[in-house]
Structure 1
Amino acid sequence: MTPGADIRAFMARLGHDFARPELLIRALTHGSIASATRPDNQRLEFLGDRVLGLVMAEALFSADLAASEGQLAPRYNALVRGETCAGVARQIGLGEVLKLGRSEMMSGGRRKEALLADAMEAVLAAIYLDAGFEAARQVVMRLWADRLASLEDDPRDAKTALQEWAQANGMPPPVYEQTARGGPDHAPIFHITARLADGRTAEASGAGTKRSIEQAAAQALLDRLEGRQ
């Protein structure tokens, strides 16, 4: 098949020229538009998650030969989690070429973090099937290069760090309460309160996923606990 101009432009941004562009089309096809003759990207997402995981594990293992498993694990998690994959997807304009059903498109599917993250993993699987592991590794290492270079020694996400703080201080895990929700359905604004068992709280609000606002609330509470607020 001959890909359209938008797909060819995406391949250029991605840095891989597909010998079998039908693999890329499948990787970009969401379940909302799938059919018996047009499979969705879920199987590719499953494979791409493992491709990304192996590339990142190998890169981290080689980059710091003195790091323990306990040090490598949070770095790995920071590089493969959904927020990171979605960020890479936005960086290369993946949302512009997603194949979505009308209802998903109208609800802002091209900007949804989960859809972007899943499709990014599916695209990596498509590269792997098209040209092998080394081709997929080269694309990952180029697209994730800045994130690898700027990775902190202990890049735990805020919710994990807050839970560990609570456990170290003899408390149950913090709870997250959605106190309000506004904005349109395709771009909701969440208001979240993070609360410890001793009553200390912090709030955050903003557009994005509910999880990302929970992370912001957790970070605000950590900052308060550490005297940065």
Structure 2
Amino acid sequence: MAEAAARLGHGFARPELLQEALTHPSVAGRPHNQRLEFLGDRVLGLVIAEALIGQDAEAEEGQLAPRLNALVRKETCAEVAAEIGLGTALRMGRSEMLTGGRRKTALLGDAMEAVIAAVYLDGGLEAARGVILRHWAGRIAAVRAQPPDAKTALQEWAQARGLKPPVYADLNRTGPDHAPVFLVEVRLEDGSSAQGEAASKRAAQQAAAEVLLARLEAAA
């Protein structure tokens, strides 16, 4: 726990908050991190939104929203958690441990959000802002230059033609718990559709959107 706090860059006056943030619900009889995860998600969104507004005074809401989504999504939180090494500090039940829980994107992402909430409750918004900006700084700087992701680009394509937003449907999940593979289909109002596979639902949605965009551009 002390090593995790040091890597995080926050000294806890109430270390029990960090302990709760790093406890998965599979640990029976102890306070776990689901409530903190709920709060941390909101604190992260606020701080990142403020940073994006300050970074680009001319950006419209339509430009800021996909940047925000990219920075607060579960996969990004999991990446930061892995960089800090939160996986080694996570407390979880035996079944989760045996199925690779310390490497699971969902568990790492949840833990990162919970840790942000723990910092917020322990030191206030300024402390949480400091931690977030320290670990997200490079991503915030880079996101402005990134092209829209495939899901955003497909939605913009549909809107430009007066169509409803794309609809994503989960078709299948295969593989073990520690290495799942999701199959997702995306469909447009005009009947166009495509499928994508990946290790997370979000990534599978992106893959499906990329396939459909490529088909639509080739047919144009």
Query: TM-score w.r.t. structure 1 length?
Result: 0.82
**SS of the residue aligned with 2:155?**
helix
> Which residue number corresponds to residue 30 of structure 1?
24
1:103 lines up with 2:111 in the alignment: no
Q: Is 1:78–1:155's contact at 8 Å kept on the other side of the alignment?
A: no
Q: Percent identity?
A: 65
Query: TM-score w.r.t. structure 2 length?
Result: 0.84
* Structure 2 unaligned blocks of 5 or more: none
1:57 lines up with 2:49 in the alignment: yes
> Which residue number corresponds to residue 209 of structure 1?
200
- Cα deviation code 1:68-105 (max 9, x no counterpart): 33332332222222222122112222222211112222
114 and 181 in structure 1: CA distance in 2 versus 1, 3 angstrom threshold: closer
Q: Is 1:74–1:155's contact at 8 Å kept on the other side of the alignment?
A: no
> Which residue number corresponds to residue 221 of structure 1?
212
Once the 2 structures are TM-superposed, how far is the Cα of residue 39 of structure 1 from its aligned partner? 0.9
1:76 lines up with 2:73 in the alignment: no
| Counterpart residue type for residue 69 of structure 1 | E
**Equivalent-residue separation in structure 2 for 1:46 and 1:190 (angstroms):** 25
Once the 2 structures are TM-superposed, how far is the Cα of residue 193 of structure 1 from its aligned partner? 4.1
Q: Is 1:26–1:40's contact at 8 Å kept on the other side of the alignment?
A: yes
Once the 2 structures are TM-superposed, how far is the Cα of residue 212 of structure 1 from its aligned partner? 1.5
**Equivalent-residue separation in structure 2 for 1:152 and 1:110 (angstroms):** 31
1:92 lines up with 2:103 in the alignment: no
| Counterpart residue type for residue 32 of structure 2 | D
**SS of the residue aligned with 1:226?**
helix
Equivalent positions of 1:127-146 (< 5 A) are 127-146=119-138
**Equivalent-residue separation in structure 1 for 2:131 and 2:66 (angstroms):** 22
Runs of 4+ displaced beyond 6 Å: none
Once the 2 structures are TM-superposed, how far is the Cα of residue 209 of structure 1 from its aligned partner? 1.2
> Which residue number corresponds to residue 6 of structure 2?
12
